[in-house]
Homo-oligomer: A and B are copies of this chain.
Amino acid sequence: MNESDFVGRDVVSIWDFSREELEFIFDRTSEIEKSGSPRTLEGKLVALLFYEPSTRTHSTFEVAAQRLGCATTGFSAPDKSSVAKGETLHDTIRMYEGYGADCIVVRHNLMGASRFAAEVASVPLISGGDGSREHPTQAMVDLYAMRKTFGKIDGLRVGILGDLKYGRTASSLCYGLSNYDVEISLIAPDLLAARKETLAALAKKGVKVRSTSDVKDVLGSLDVLYVTRIQKERIPDPTEYERVRGLYKVDLELLRQGKKGLKVMHPLPRLDELANEIDGTEYAGYFTQAAAGVPLRMALLRMVVS
């Protein structure tokens, strides 16, 4: 396998990547983290079409593109753009191809938008997250951070705590982990329990899964506790949100009940579910995780853009 095998590839679902491909991407990410990258995309253009607010995904793609020598264009606020005039995703994609984009990144609130956009685009399309299911580059960042921290992913016991119903990072991470020999504990209040499709997918891949609503049931065995934010903006009913907010909170008192070497991860941003007091401690893995966002996206851009 080499980088040119990926030229033209879309990145719209973590499902589309084999374990071998993921490992290849992580190797490239690791090289970039250590030594940077030549500006191999000098003169290229990446369009960042963000139909949903996002600080970190937008900024990491922007910085990744710049570090490779690319220019960027696009929008990060749909109400300011032609979207407000009613333009379809189809036309917008065609448009940015016409402007010379060599790669298009789409973030969208609707499930399947990235897949649809990829079918329209003749250049590589990368999802920056869509709907409540897919956030493939975030899942890659998460997996990469686990590999970096523990040396390998096989053998890890990973607890995923939080909003497993509406959270797309949790969903994509589960699928990504299913390529490895891991044990997954799904920890969520009943109202936010994992969707059946996620459970079915994991079962089909033969992943060992435990489900519980109480983190203490599984904490003692975990290597990684992956905490997610309740996705207020994706919960259809405000009263439903009010019933679940504050239902879980990870702090030092809780973590001390875990086993030695336990690492806490979080896709960020966090609200109350992750106490600030963890930041300076050996438990905190989330800032390292976040920092991988730029080199991983550099690796992807460098590989898919010809």
Contacts and interface: CB of A to CB of B under 8 A. Distances in A.
Interface of A: 45, 47, 53-56, 59-60, 62-63, 66-67, 71, 73-77, 79-88, 90-92, 94-96, 98-100, 229, 232-233, 268-271, 276, 287-288, 290-291, 293-294
A294 B100 CA distance: 8
A85 B233 contact: yes
Nearest to A83: B55
Given A53-B81, A77-B77, A59 B271 contact: no
B54 A95 contact: no
Given A55-B81, A55-B82, A95-B268, 9 more contacts: A53-B79, A53-B81, A54-B81, A56-B82, A60-B99, A63-B71, A63-B99, A66-B73, A90-B276
B77 A80 contact: yes
Q: Which 6 pairs between the two chains have the least Cβ-Cβ distance?
A: A87-B269, A98-B291, A55-B81, A55-B82, A66-B71, A82-B269
A270 to B, nearest CB: 7
26 contacts: A45-B63, A53-B85, A55-B75, A55-B82, A56-B82, A63-B71, A63-B73, A63-B100, A76-B80, A77-B80, A85-B232, A85-B271, A86-B271, A88-B276, A90-B276, A91-B270, A92-B269, A95-B290, A98-B287, A98-B288, A98-B290, A98-B291, A98-B294, A99-B290, A99-B294, A100-B294
Contacts of A87: 55, 268-270
B99 A291 contact: yes
A88 B274 CA distance: 12
A142 to B, nearest CB: 14
A44 to B, nearest CB: 11
Contacts of A276: 88, 90
Contacts of A92: 55, 269
Contact of A74 (B54, B59, B98): B59
B71 A268 contact: no
A17 to B, nearest CB: 24
B294 A95 contact: no
A291 B94 CA distance: 9
Nearest to A36: B43
A53 B84 contact: yes
Contacts of A56: 82, 95
A66 to B, nearest CB: 4
Nearest to A94: B287
A222 B198 CA distance: 56
B53 A82 contact: yes
A269 B86 CA distance: 8
